[in-house]
Structure 1
């Protein structure tokens, strides 16, 4: 039987969490590569809008006052393609429309793939002056938009964290070569699954200036000394599945010379930043966003 690593175990737990929240069917919750439990699963107790099926509006389902619609003045957006490990992959690029040279940020989506919400996050960064590139980590599988939403988490798991980190290394090189990016001034931000990939990228992409991981599983602690970026970890007080591992990561980071902060936001649960979900909390999501911009302004 295949031995599951820490990140794979996290993803399985996230499948079950999504199912209980009503964001995934039982079929999607048990993809072929995930061991099936013989215990009965409880029925969903709530529902969250699936990508692309939220109420009508310029940004599907968006509740955040920070939301930036597609076509907003002063921004340029496009789908871009670039090489990675012998093939081309794609991402959604949003940047200031004035063409000014400035910093950049890589964005890693949640386990639902490249959704309208993540594209919205990229535009929020562009409005703040960054060239923001949100990868579609299922580019090789013809992209998130072309897949059954329930198949996306399993496909991301099957592809493996190493492939995802390698794709972000290629994205780093792509951004660094663009004439609108101030060379070397590149950060990374990820959410949930993407928070975990962000932590792993921090150990593997030495050129990153700063990272910001929203409630993502920590990297293997023996890899923490390889981190070169200024790292910030967002934790939700009610999300003990992730937050309980924070002290060990904090102790490992304390033995390094890198700037770091691990902050627990009060009264909120996992995915509190995602404003198309039922756990969204405007006060704490806005606070975390402002903290993000302040961290990047200081270290990128």
Structure 2
């Protein structure tokens, strides 16, 4: 007997995508998400279940790939949620030093998709560190629902400090060339923008994916060129774009902004039907080219 075919993005009602965005950002719980999806359209419950992540689909680079060496590392994080942090460090084969990229997770901790992104960067010649913001609570729990709830319980300014300390740890790492890039997704995209304001000249490139804009008053502190990726169907994040773009121009910060037609928030994440293969591939090619230009 053949397994049922997974629903594609085009088969899912936009109203269910909108509910999923509310669910992903903690504004409704899983039960409410499923109930509202079932009520909004025929087949809505099946659409909702199709949007839940399948992390087996997100692995593109095996953790045993001979081109890389991956391991978990612990490092101090003064001023953070516990004073200690854990992250996933992936280096290319070879002695180094390597240009370094910090990879910042979404609002649910260091899940398998983000670990795979770190491996993708290492295969391309970058030393990548993906911190787990949930490590003060024991680390990513193995599922996104619990991870999201755990991250929401953390002191949020201290959580950002934990990411700042991860950037500093990576930049100073013996395998690092000292040139630092940062990328992140969703919450991590907003944190990428924030880190650009905090690190100033210590950050050489930033690539936020569909993340909240930096505070306008802090934009003049940004020294790193930015490559900013937006999803077209992402009203909440896109509403912040005009003021952010104007502030970057006024401050003279080099930047590129790309909007990917027809895409949903989370289009780079290949574990759910929000994934858009063409947009994910194009944005990633742009990201790698940007980091090669700015970090190597």
TM-score (norm 2): 0.82
Equivalent residue for 1:127? 123
Aligned partner (choices 215, 218, 221) of residue 223 of structure 1: 218
Q: Which residue of 2 aligns with 1:25?
A: 30
Return the TM-score normalized by structure 1.
0.81
State the partner residue of 1:6.
none
Find the aligned partners of 1:241 and 1:176 in 2 and give their Cα distance: 32
Is 1:81 the counterpart of 2:74? The answer is yes
- Tell me which residue corresponds to 1:196: 190
CA contact (8 A) 2:132 2:139 kept: yes
Corresponding position: 1:69 with 2:62: yes
Unaligned runs of 5+ in 1: 1-12, 30-39
Task: Provide the aligned C-alpha RMSD in A.
Answer: 2.5
Does the 8 Å contact 2:104/2:183 carry over to 1?
yes
Measure how far apart 1:50 and its partner are. Answer: 5.4
Structure-2 separation of matches of 1:132 and 1:42: 38
Unaligned runs of 5+ in 2: 1-18, 39-44
Q: How does 1:47-58 map to 2 (within 5 A)?
A: 47-48=49-50, 54=54
Is 2:267–2:276's contact at 8 Å kept on the other side of the alignment?
yes
Q: Report the CA distance between 1:195 and its aligned residue.
A: 0.8
Q: Deviations over 1:239-279 (max 9, x none)?
A: 22212321111011101122111111112111110001111
Q: Which has the higher helix share?
A: 2
Instruction: Kindly provide the CA deviation profile for residues 134-188 of structure 1, in whole angstroms up to 9, marking residues without a partner as x.
Output: 0100110010136x632322332332442222112211222223221102x0111
4+ residue stretches of structure 1 with deviation over 6 A? Answer: none
Alignment counterpart, residue 94 of structure 2, candidates 93, 98, 117: 98
What secondary structure, in the 3-state scheme, does the structure 2 residue paired with 1:205 have? helix
